[in-house]
């Protein structure tokens, strides 16, 4: 069968032939209709991810959408190595397949779950966002950040402030639920002033941080006087580090503010994960959640692998056999 085959760590996968998957007990073969190309797929292929494969060759891709032998269309994840999602067929545990709403197209069904569920869990599970609370999204112009802006509103946020470097994308976020925007590439003093201004007297109860580095440092450096009138806890959920892997955090920041710093905490219990997936899929099916996608043929995987996705999620399409 056709597949995106990784032959060597650090090199792009090649369009190649690979043996057919044979399911073990409790597993099913999925006939793949679309598979998303995500940053984690590239990290695993270049060896920078802790779960990078140790035995090659293998097929790239960790999740996608397809149909089972009985015709049921499903989203799937957790493929069994050496099989991956970027192939005509793959094999997964049946428990890792989930129904897809009939009104949801294949591209969205493949591309949305990973960033959408990530944003949903960060807000609902880790930050425990409550209706009426104010939210700041650091890194709101990326694929997951844009979804987080909208999901915060769907979860009942009172006010959502979107912060990012891409002004063109920032301008579009008002249509996704943002009440205000902040440029993260402003000088540090200007950035601190902008955070303080948008926090106002009510403050931010939830921060979802996809950037870390200088923007997170600037946020945490707001003085005691600026936080003095804030009467609620700020839950800061750290998700990514696109602006830098480390910060300088003075102890006085923690002594002078009701600040709790949280990680994403890995994979949540299955019932919470499944609920997040169902919610995200339902909102997408109703048209309230959207992700920009770009289709590429499986045969063009090597070129697509190296391309800048520019805010879109590349969706790899295997040729369907008649």
Per-residue pLDDT, 50: 82
Q: Which domains does the chain have, with CATH numbers?
A: 2-112+291-317 (3.90.180.10), 115-263 (3.90.180.10)
Per-residue pLDDT, 225: 45
DSSP notation for 283-301: HHHTTS----EEEEEGGGH
Tokens representing 223?
């003085």
Per-residue pLDDT, 237: 97
**Residue 13 contacts residue 5 (beta carbons within 8 Å):** yes
Question: What gap in Å lies between CA 154 and CA 150, rounded to an integer?
Answer: 6
Is 315 strand, coil or helix?
A: strand
Element at 61 (helix H, strand E): none
CB atoms within 10 A of CB 212: 20
**Residue 49 contacts residue 2 (beta carbons within 8 Å):** no
DSSP notation for 168-224: HHHHHGGGGT-SEEEETTS-HHHHHHHHHHHHTTT--SEEEES-BHHHHHHHHT--H
Question: What gap in Å lies between CA 56 and CA 277, rounded to an integer?
Answer: 31
Tokens representing 270?
């299955």
CB atoms within 10 A of CB 223: 13
Is 261 strand, coil or helix?
A: strand
- pLDDT by residue for the chain (322 residues), tens only, comes to 999 999 999 999 999 999 999 999 999 999 999 999 998 899 989 988 888 888 899 999 999 999 999 999 999 998 999 999 999 999 999 999 999 999 999 999 999 999 999 999 999 999 999 999 999 999 999 999 999 999 999 999 999 999 999 999 999 999 999 999 999 999 999 999 999 999 988 889 999 999 999 999 999 887 444 444 456 789 999 999 988 999 998 888 888 788 899 998 777 899 999 999 999 999 999 999 999 999 999 999 999 998 877 788 999 999 876 5
Cis peptide before 57 (omega within 30 of 0): yes
Q: What is the DSSP letter of 80?
A: P
DSSP notation for 221-275: T--HHHHTT--S-EEEEE---TTBS-----HHHHHHS-EEEEE--SSPPHHHHHH
Q: Which residues contact 246 (CB under 8 A, 6 or more apart)?
A: 212, 213
**Residue 184 contacts residue 158 (beta carbons within 8 Å):** no
User: Where do the DSSP E strands lie in 21-88?
Assistant: 27-37, 58-59, 63-67, 73-77
Counting every residue, how long is the chain?
Answer: 322
Is 96 strand, coil or helix?
A: helix
User: CA torsion, points 296, 301, 306, 310, in degrees to nearest 10?
Assistant: 20
Question: What gap in Å lies between CA 120 and CA 46, rounded to an integer?
Answer: 28
Closest C-alpha among 79, 18, 72, 6 to residue 44: 6
């Amino acid at each position: 069968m056709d597949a995106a085959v990784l032959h060597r760590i650090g090199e792009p996968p090649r369009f190649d032939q690979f043996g057919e998957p044979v399911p073990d007990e409790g597993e099913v073969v999925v006939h793949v209709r679309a598979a998303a190309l995500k940053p984690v797929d590239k990290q695993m292929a270049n060896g920078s991810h802790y779960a990078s494969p140790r035995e090659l060759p293998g097929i790239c891709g960790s999740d996608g959408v397809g149909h089972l032998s009985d015709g049921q269309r499903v989203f799937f994840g957790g493929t069994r190595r050496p099989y991956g999602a970027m192939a005509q067929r793959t094999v997964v545990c049946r428990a890792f397949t989930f129904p897809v709403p009939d009104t949801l197209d294949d591209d969205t069904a493949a591309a949305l779950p990973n960033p959408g569920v990530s944003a949903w869990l960060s807000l609902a599970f880790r930050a425990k966002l409550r209706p009426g609370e104010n939210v700041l999204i650091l890194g709101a112009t990326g694929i997951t950040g844009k979804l987080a802006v909208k999901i915060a509103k769907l979860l009942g946020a009172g006010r959502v402030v979107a912060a990012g470097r891409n002004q063109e994308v920032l301008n579009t976020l008002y249509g996704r639920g943002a009440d205000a925007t902040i440029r993260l590439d402003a000088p540090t003093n200007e950035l601190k002033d902008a955070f303080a201004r948008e926090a106002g007297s009510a403050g931010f109860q939830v921060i979802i941080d996809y950037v870390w580095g200088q923007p997170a440092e600037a946020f945490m450096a707001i003085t005691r006087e600026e936080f003095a009138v804030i009467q609620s806890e700020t839950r800061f959920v750290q998700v990514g580090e696109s602006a830098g892997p480390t910060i300088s955090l003075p102890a006085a920041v923690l002594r002078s503010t009701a600040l709790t710093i949280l990680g994403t905490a890995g994979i949540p219990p299955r019932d919470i994960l499944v609920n997040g997936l169902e919610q995200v899929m339902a909102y997408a099916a109703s048209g309230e959640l959207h992700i920009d996608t770009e289709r590429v043929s499986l045969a063009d995987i090597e070129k697509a692998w190296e391309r800048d996705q520019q805010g879109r999620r590349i969706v790899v399409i295997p040729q369907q056999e008649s």
